[in-house]
Amino acid sequence: MEKSTLMSPITRHLLNWYRANKRDLPWRGITDPYLIWVSEIILQQTRVAQGWDYYTRFTRRFPDVHSLAAASEEEVLKIWQGLGYYSRARNMHAAALDITNRFKGKFPTRYQEILSLKGVGEYTAAAISSIAFNMPYAAVDGNVLRVFARLFAIEESIHAVKGKRVITEIVQSLLPPEDPASFNQAVMDFGALVCTPLQPECIDCPLQGSCMAYARNEVANFPVTRKKTKARKRYFNYFYIVDNGFTYITRREEQDIWKNLYEFPLVETPLPIDINQLAGNKGFRELFVDTPQMTIEPPSSLKHVLSHQIIHACFYRVKPLEEHPFNAPEHFIRVPHDQLEHYPVSRLIGKYLELVDDSHGELQKYA
């Protein structure tokens, strides 16, 4: 008897659907573990449409572990700029150095070794193991959790340890050992194209006959999720200092968002305040203690939404008077305007620079 006849109907339908409908992606059909790793890390918290260009750019600059390990973290962050969740890039760089040192530059081939790399969780390790090395590990991400929570009407929250464990055990039991790569990729694509978060294609779904949520007319009730954590609001007041063709930036080094990215002088306040209130703020006074006279333009306001934070930012364009030049604290870097593009910055800073009026003749649009 052939192995395929022993497959679950769910497994068989998924593989048949995948053969006919799989997405044409630049990392499909490859078995290089490094390239698979890059694609999986980029697609964490990132839509395929956005990740595609970043994958192409990243792998063109860093085609292998050696080139990534040899680069500076700052260059890696610059290539990553705009993609968000910058810890992914920092972790990849650290993992590349680890592979160079611990595995002599050869990408590890065992699941536990792959899992030991910084920034690699169970899903990513399973995806690399199955796709690159044909090892039978079920790769369970958000798409997979949603698909199987609906198929089996799982009452546990997919964000709870028990819910994830139950679904992982189900997926592992359905994984065909002869072709784990196709199965894992089939479920990923199926969740992205058919069993979508909103308005899933239930009418034409090839798994309709096996779906318990559909049979109960409760597809909209699955997956079960915990209440979302309320987003924290933060208020950033940035000062874009225009000083004879130069401006000032500093690198964020705290354990916070955008670590190791550059930004303008910042005063964070617990609530939104205007420039008059800012003038009495301790951080503002310390920043401009040696700059008694300057012009400050009305702010440009931008809102930037992260997964658990909402940043409300006011950007003030500041021009010190010639007789009272800005005396920057020692941790700031004085940078010519036309050199800003060489420093990795957050998407928030990038958006402001794109909006800066270049009629002042001191800064071109920043892409």
Give the residue among 250, 261, 254 at the shortest CA–CA distance from 77: 261
Position of tokens 């892409």? 367
DSSP state of 337: G
224 Cβ contact partners less than 8 Å away, ≥ 6 residues apart = 149, 154, 155, 156, 157, 158, 163
Q: Give bridge partners of residue 334 from the DSSP assignment.
A: 248
Secondary-structure breakdown of the chain: helix, strand, coil percentages, each rounded to the nearest 5:
45, 15, 40
Sign of CA dihedral 254, 257, 263, 267: negative
Residue type, 176: P
103 Cβ contact partners less than 8 Å away, ≥ 6 residues apart = 113
21 Cβ contact partners less than 8 Å away, ≥ 6 residues apart = 189, 193
DSSP 28-42: TT---HHHHHHHHHH
SS3 state at 10: helix
- For residues 232-250, one letter each, b for 16 or more C-beta atoms within 10 angstroms of the residue's C-beta and e for the rest, the string is eebbbbbbbbbbeebbbbb
Name the phi and psi angles at 126, rounded to 5. Answer: -70, -40
Q: How far is CA 335 from CA 80, 122, 148, 263, 348, in A?
A: 21, 42, 53, 12, 19
Q: How far is CA 295 from CA 193, 291, 324, 353, in A?
A: 53, 11, 11, 19
Which member of 40, 75, 263, 268 is catalytic? 40
Is the separation of the CB atoms in 102 and 117 below 8 Å? no
Position of tokens 């009629």? 359
Name the phi and psi angles at 65, rounded to 5. Answer: -60, -40
40 is catalytic: yes
Catalytically active residues are 40
